[in-house]
Structure 1
Amino acid sequence: MSSAIDSFLAMLAAERGAAANTLAAYRRDLEGSEEVAGDLVAATKDDLAKLSRVWSDLAPATVARKISALRQFYGFCLEEVLRADDPSTALPRPQTRRPLPKILSHDEVEALFRQAESEAETGRAPALRMLALLELLYGSGLRATELVGLPVSAVPRDAPFLTVTGKGGQQRMVPVSRRAQAALARWLEVRASNSAFLFPSRKSHLTRIRLYQLVKSLAGRAGIDPARVSPHVLRHAFATHLLEGGADLRVLQTLLGHADIATTQIYTHVDSARLVALVNERHPLAGTRGRG
């Protein structure tokens, strides 16, 4: 493996605050490219052209991600004078469309909560934990990684907010509803652990994989196809339903922790008719007649 990859990843972490998952994905893509094209620092355009043939059966979004990693790597090589040219121009430019997020209806979300609340009535710790997890996924729109890594100190005391550390180590405040506060309080009463994490495990904290399994299992018990439900789908539902309710896109961007509002704009597909009606009803000139 080229030592330049390590240097590139160190730069991403130090200068751009790239998250651990992002760094791992870049490493996989770059090391996989080296297996085909050889040492990336010395690779020629012809070497990189081999990658297109190897990637021919991959999804366009996957190819686009790999190409992005290589282009950024070669930009780094130019800046560090590791080479004088950029061979990544030999790579294709696949046209990709951001996929629309999976959506749960209001009725399906209510079914999930009915099931979780019914099970929580038993007072059993796993059921109370599940309800708290569900409230924070749908009620605050947390990413799975953000949720499982929450420290106990993040739980609000006097203010209805959580302090969340998101991608790139960026912190933001997210609101916690009265329902979520109540669910958290019930969970903390039965949480038998001295761990610094809100949702501890034997070694550290609840893993993303375990959270994924818990959410799908709850969906099955609630009569919803588990294939349609995941922690990220609940985050999408949070954003979609807020936008339907009239939330401002900039506010939604802040709540979701998106660095670029273009990422948030994908949710505008959910209710375009409502947005048109909003302009027609609320625009300052909506009530005026056209001038002849």
Structure 2
Amino acid sequence: MSDYRWISTFLDAQAAEMGAARNTQEAYARDLRDFADWCAGRGCGFQGATRADVEAWLIDCEAQGLAQSTRARRLSAVKQLFRFAFEEGWRDDNPAIQIKGPGRAKRLPKTLEVIEVDRLLEAARKTGRTPADKLRNTCLMELLYATGMRVTELVSLPVAAARGDPDMLLIRGKGGKERMVPLSPGARTALTAWLKQRDAMDEKSAAKTGKHSTFLFPSRGKAGHLTRHWFYTLIKDLAVSGGIAPDRVTPHTLRHAFATHLLANGADLRAIQTLLGHADIATTEIYTHVLDERLSELVHSHHPLAKARK
């Protein structure tokens, strides 16, 4: 088989057997195509690639200035590909099995203060060309902060999950795993208002097309719902309207704020892990470091002795 055939077969298996998310598949596809092109330039291909070839490729990635996290993800993709090839009998060995990756630099996630989140929510209520846009934007932001959802989970929410004025939402996360997240009063109010508007708009659309949308946030695009990129642009506009530096605000920043604010108010780390949909609590534990850093800043800023030393 050609290297590109290896990649497509591997990705199909990932999607079928492990429920790999679309974003994960796209990232792996880019990484593996890069490795395939690099191998083609050396005349080896996946069938003949050796451990030395994989290591040389990683050195080349580093020379290109790729981030540590990017190189770690690329090696992970290649390792999984060769493990799959070995299990399928395409190769008699796995040339990447003993290669140690560069690891991942542990950086504290960016977050926002409660007052900054309030300003974003207020900006959402005022941003939009029409009243319907403002209701939709308010619902998006209220749900994001109330639940800590990933942006892909948010924009692709099925409308069925929002029916019946629910106290909780059922979310399908990475790998098809489902979890329940509670809704705040503000989120429920925003959801009810948007759902009424959304249904009215959907009825008009269905009268023309003969089809009803199955998504809470429908669009006329190929996916049938709002995209991550669209929402990324929206949240940057909201940051500007709310007087917050746009480079400090991303959809994931609201997810970090959700977790940090819960922890700061006494929430259990295991509960936050469940709400965020983290498979490993080690991923959730980084928020304890964020909280430690903020408490340290608080002491240095407000303690009388710290002020005296300054």
TM-score, structure 1 normalization: 0.87
In structure 2, relative to structure 1, the CA distance for the partners of 1:64 and 1:10 (3 Å cut) is: same
| Corresponding residue for residue 40 of structure 1 | 46
Aligned-partner residue type, residue 81 of structure 1:
G
Structure 1 residues 140-181: Cα deviation after superposition (integer angstroms, max 9, x where no partner): 111110111011111051540111111111111111111111
* Equivalent residue, structure 2, for 1:152: 159
8 Å contact kept, 1:49–1:90: no
Of 157, 161, 172, the residue aligned with 1:165 is 172
The letter of the residue matching 1:29 is: D
Unmatched 5+ stretches in structure 1: 276-292
Task: Give the structure 2 partner of residue 284 of structure 1.
Answer: none
Residue 166 of structure 1 contacts residue 257 of structure 1 at CA under 8 Å; is this kept in 2?
yes
Q: Does the CA-based 8 Å contact 1:4-1:41 persist in structure 2?
A: no
Divergent runs of 4+, >6 A:
none
> 1:105-184 residue pairs with structure 2 within 5 A?
105-118=113-126, 124-157=131-164, 159-184=166-191
2:213 is matched with 195
Shift in CA distance, 123/181, structure 1 to aligned 2, threshold 3 Å: farther
1:1-292 to structure 2, matched below 5 A, reads 1-2=2-3, 3-38=5-40, 39-56=45-62, 57-88=65-96, 91=99, 93-118=101-126, 124-157=131-164, 159-191=166-198, 192-193=201-202, 194-203=212-221, 204-272=224-292
| Inter-partner Cα distance in structure 2 for 1:59 and 1:143 | 23
TM-superposed deviation, 1:265: 1.2
Measure, in 2, the Cα distance between the counterparts of 1:119 and 1:5: 43
Counting matched residue pairs gives 275
Aligned equivalent of 1:283? none
The range that moved more, 105-114 or 212-221, is 105-114
Could you say if the C-alpha distance between residues 273 and 55 of structure 1 is closer, same or farther in structure 2, counting changes exceeding 3 Å? closer
The structure with the largest helix share of the pair is 2
Give 1:123 shift.
Answer: 7.5
1:14 is displaced (CA, Å) by 2.1
User: Contact between 2:124 and 2:137, CA under 8 Å: does it hold in 1?
Assistant: yes
Secondary structure, aligned partner of 2:48:
coil
Residue deviations 1:233-256, cap 9 Å, x none? 111110111111111111111111
Q: Which segment drifts farther, 6-15 or 180-189?
A: 6-15
SS, match of residue 173 in structure 1: strand
CA contact (8 A) 1:41 1:77 kept: no
For the 8 Å contact 1:135–1:183, the answer to whether it is kept is: yes
What is the letter of the counterpart of residue 125 of structure 1?
Answer: A
1:45, distance to aligned residue in structure 2 (A): 2.8
Which stretch of the first structure deviates more once superposed, 1-10 or 72-81?
Answer: 1-10
C-alpha displacement at 1:11, in angstroms? 2.3
Question: 1:13/1:118 Cα in 2 relative to 1: closer, same or farther (>3 Å)?
Answer: closer
TM-score (norm 2): 0.82
Alignment partner of 2:46: what SS?
coil
5+ residue gaps, structure 2, are 203-211, 296-310
Alignment-mate amino acid for residue 49 of structure 2: A
8 Å Cα contact 2:58/2:75 also seen in 1 = no
Aligned residues: percent identity? Answer: 49
Q: 1:8: how far off? A: 1.9
Counterpart of 2:220 in 1: which secondary structure?
A: coil
Letter in 2 for 1:128: L
